[in-house]
Amino acid sequence: MNFNPLAGIYGAVVGTRNRLYDRGWLRSRALSGAVVSVGNVSAGGSGKTPFVILLGGLLKARGIRFDVLSRGYGRRTHGVLLVDPGGLSGDFGDEPLLIARRLQVPVVVGEDRYEAGQFAEARFGAQIHLLDDGFQHRGLVRDFDIVLVMPDDARDQLLPAGRLREPLRSLQRADAVVLTGGASAESFPLEGKRVWRVRRGIVAENVPSRPVMFCGIGRPQNLLLQLRTAGIDPVAEAFFRDHHAYTEKDIHDLLQLRQRSEGDGFVTTEKDAVNLGGYLDALAPLVVVPVKMELADADNAVDTMLRLIEERRGCS
């Protein structure tokens, strides 16, 4: 593995910032409600949004009230906003909008997650906050830190040479490390860590026999593999950048691709459906395949998380 000087500089900056927080020279601010962070160590595609939806569903099943705090990546707006489930991804970001639609709980976006949390508490009270993509957001005190890892993370490099946002040793900050995509615990420095395992797949129903697959997600090849595993072999594929906001030209190009490949429909992800907005009907027949994520021994994992939160807040 060749050394990249830019990755070395990036690693030095990240390491210095973490040390400043670890030693208290940079201060984190605390909300009244407990904060559960869901994050990762690499850029894009590890399943943070499906995991937030999974964890939120487990909390809802227990009657536990919570909200979700997110930066709202890719939105054109600024400041703190309450996500309108009927709104547009350009106003709130595609992932917060998807979370709001799936969980039907308050989702608040803001560049400053502390301000977003204060807004949420003023509107909905001091309930649990799920912090979406929060591992690197150390300006906010969290009561439980969950980090997802993929198999590729174990052999990747720091940005910009690779996809890692932080060195793997940063996993020592986590309260629970979630193995996704078949990741192996032996590949990571997880001594003494709680290890959770999830299964992730898609729900592929009523998909056309000769579909054109398109998506704008972090690791598009994973979707293609999941489709083929489900017995669906697309006649053509079109990949866009993660969080891509679709335009009229994109729709025209996709329709042309379907015609050239003699396809009989389209298949895409829930996130892409959010980003299609008003263009959704123009691609009919279009099948949206939801991501299904299951946490092994979920009841015990949630019990452990809630117990530790209670113990830590009782000591604060």
Q: Does residue 233 share a domain with residue 139?
A: no
Q: For the domain that residue 216 is a member of, what is the CATH number?
A: 3.40.50.2300
pLDDT value of residue 21: 92
**Residue 295: enclosing H or E segment and its boundaries?**
strand 291-295
pLDDT of residue 1: 54
Domain that holds residue 100: 5-200+294-315
| Per-residue model confidence as pLDDT tens digits over 153-188 | 999 999 999 999 999 999 999 999 999 989 999 999
Q: Based on the domain organization, do 44 and 147 belong to the same domain?
A: yes
The answer to whether residues 253 and 175 belong to one domain is: no
User: What CATH number has the domain bearing residue 39?
Assistant: 3.40.50.300
What is the structure's pLDDT at 6? 81
Please check whether residues 74 and 129 belong to one and the same domain. Answer: yes
Q: Tell me, yes or no, whether 50 and 189 share the same domain.
A: yes
Helix 94-103 to helix 48-61 angle (10° resolution) is: 20
Query: pTM of the predicted model, to two decimals?
Result: 0.93
114 and 246 both lie in a single domain? no
pLDDT at 104 over 70: yes
Q: How far apart are CA 160 and CA 167, in angstroms?
A: 13
Residues 38 and 92 in one domain: yes
Same domain for 229 and 149: no
At 232-283, the pLDDT tens digits run 999 999 999 999 999 999 999 999 999 999 999 999 999 999 999 999 999 9
Task: Identify whether residues 55 and 139 lie together within a single domain.
Answer: yes
Q: Do residue 196 and residue 208 come from a single domain?
A: no
Mean pLDDT to the nearest integer, 47-75: 96
pLDDT digits (tens, 9 = 90+) for 179-223: 998 999 999 999 999 999 999 888 888 999 999 999 999 889 989
Provide the token pair at 9.
Answer: 């500089």
* pLDDT surpasses 80 at 20: yes
| CB distance 160 to 10 below 8 Å | yes
Q: How many structural domains does the chain have?
A: 2
Q: Are residues 85 and 229 in the same domain?
A: no
If asked whether residues 256 and 274 sit together in one domain, one would say yes
Q: What is the pLDDT of residues 275-304, one digit of tens each?
A: 999 999 999 999 999 988 999 999 999 999
The DSSP bridge pattern shows strands 144-149 and 176-179 to be parallel
Structure tokens at 6: 């830019």
Q: Where are the alpha helices (DSSP H) in the chain?
A: 5-22, 48-61, 89-92, 94-103, 113-124, 220-229, 248-261, 270-276, 298-315
